Amino acid sequence: MSKSLIYVRTYLVRFIIIVGLLSALASWYLVSPQVDTVFNELSIWNMMISTFTLFVGLLTVVSRYVTNITRRGAFWPYQIYALIIIIVWIIMGVTVGIYSDIYQTAFLSTKITLHIAILGQLIFFMVSGAYRVFRMRNLRTALFAICAASVATLNSPWLLGVFPEADKISFWLLNNPAMAGQRALVISGAIGGLFLGFRLLFGLEKGALRVTEA
């Protein structure tokens, strides 16, 4: 890779990130109408660029599919179908509008129906997964199984009819040990994410996301 491209990929990107980062941090922490104005402007630019990348993404997908279709690669008929559906929906959205009755009906009848079907299917997998996984082989798995069974049943209508205080036990389980664990995950994940960001920013990342020299 030429040196100028390396400079663009590293230093220009870092400069942009630092400017954006500083304006976001300054706007969040400091009382300054000027910084707020800069940040609002950068946010609008960010939204515009995100919209632009939406089209770039669409072009990427179309080019991959067209290449595969012309080569008669794997699953090429499905890719023709996908391309046709993409075009039809774009034309429909642009012409009749996404808030029109036609679009709403089409959306509810297709995407939402399929979505709900998959969502409804999840319980099948969850029950078969529960049968297979929640086996009390040792203390850890026993606790895991007992907690899962407790939370699933303590909120169920049949148990609440017999034992009305059951949901309070479930409430306590969810709001104390479960919430503590969840918050620990979120806090540690946030700290880890910050450090990953630092590693990328300063070029410390040596994995697949490293800056390549060649």
Site for another protein in 28-57 (CB under 8 A): 28-35, 43, 47, 53, 56-57
H or E element, residue 63: helix 33-70
10 touches another protein (CB under 8 A): no
Of the ranges 3-11, 12-20, 145-153, which one interacts with another protein (CB under 8 A)? Answer: 145-153
94 touches another protein (CB under 8 A): no
The Cα–Cα gap between 45 and 48 comes to: 5
**Ramachandran category for residue 74: left, alpha or beta (phi over 0 → left; psi -120 to 50 → alpha):** beta
Select the residue interacting with another protein from 99, 138, 139, 213 (CB under 8 A). 99
User: How many residues does the structure list for the chain?
Assistant: 214
Half-sphere exposure of 155 (CA within 13 A, CB side): 10
116 touches another protein (CB under 8 A): yes
The tokens for 127 are 């029950």
φ, ψ of residue 200 to 5 degrees: the values are -70, -40
Q: Which of 26, 93, 32, 29 is nearest to 58 (CA)?
A: 93
Of the ranges 2-10, 11-19, 200-208, which one interacts with another protein (CB under 8 A)? Answer: 200-208
**Ramachandran category for residue 163: left, alpha or beta (phi over 0 → left; psi -120 to 50 → alpha):** beta
133 touches another protein (CB under 8 A): yes
182 touches another protein (CB under 8 A): yes
Closer residue to another protein, CB minimum distance, 12 or 59: 59
164 touches another protein (CB under 8 A): yes
Note whether 76 and 69 are within 8 A (CB).
yes
77 touches another protein (CB under 8 A): no
Note whether 189 and 212 are within 8 A (CB).
no
CB of 95 to another protein, least distance (A): 15
CB of 8 to another protein, least distance (A): 16
Select the residue interacting with another protein from 20, 24, 68, 80 (CB under 8 A). 68
CB of 4 to another protein, least distance (A): 20
Closer residue to another protein, CB minimum distance, 4 or 70: 70
